[in-house]
């Protein structure tokens, strides 16, 4: 099963490689990983999307907690949470495509952030599955380039991950 794991770690050189190294060394699956400093610049927040049996996920959480630089770890799937990912898609915008792409962007509540003679660049935010749905819906031959950030996640309501 897919799990979204959030963690706070010391914002120090090499932190990312400790986490990435742990996943490769122990053979854990890693679907996406995003990282950036938090409002407190001494901390980094990381969101990892992984999958595995309950036993594997339990080990992943324990092993992450064992890293000396990791301050807190939370499996977002243990409670209600929100997941968002940002995608930029460059699509063909010639002839009939021009209207179709505009309406598809609207349907998915995307925004066209760059307009050129033959292309649009669409910005889309949502759960990873929504972004997948967009890519499946539009004509594949019209997709010129995609870039995705990987998921970020946060707990709902008073579920807060903070030091």
Using CB under 8 A, list all residues that contact other proteins. Answer: 9-10, 13-14, 17-18, 21, 25, 55, 58-59, 62-63, 65-66, 68-71, 163
How do 81-92 and 2-10 pair as beta strands? unpaired
Give min distance, CB of 65 to other proteins, in A: 7
For other proteins, the closer CB: 66 or 109: 66
Give 163's Cβ-side CA count (13 Å radius). Answer: 14
Give min distance, CB of 6 to other proteins, in A: 15
Give min distance, CB of 25 to other proteins, in A: 5
Q: Which residues make Cβ contacts (< 8 Å) with residue 56, sequence separation at least 6?
A: 28
For other proteins, the closer CB: 60 or 131: 60
DSSP string, 74-101: EEGGGS-EEEEEEEEEEEE-STHHHHHH
């Amino acid at each position: 099963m897919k799990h979204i794991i959030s963690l706070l770690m010391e914002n120090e050189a090499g932190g990312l490689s400790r986490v990435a190294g742990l996943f490769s060394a122990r053979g854990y699956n890693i679907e996406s990983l995003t990282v950036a400093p938090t409002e407190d610049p001494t901390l980094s927040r990381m969101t990892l999307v992984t999958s595995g049996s309950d036993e594997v996920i339990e080990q992943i959480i324990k092993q992450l907690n064992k890293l000396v630089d990791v301050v807190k770890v939370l499996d977002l799937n243990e409670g209600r949470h929100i997941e968002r990912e940002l995608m930029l898609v460059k699509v063909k915008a010639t002839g009939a495509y021009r209207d179709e792409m505009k309406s598809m962007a609207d349907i998915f509540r995307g925004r066209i952030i760059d307009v050129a003679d033959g292309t649009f660049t669409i910005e889309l935010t949502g759960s990873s599955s929504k972004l997948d749905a967009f890519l499946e819906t539009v004509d594949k031959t019209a997709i010129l380039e995609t870039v995705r950030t990987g998921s970020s996640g946060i707990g709902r309501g008073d579920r807060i991950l903070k030091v």
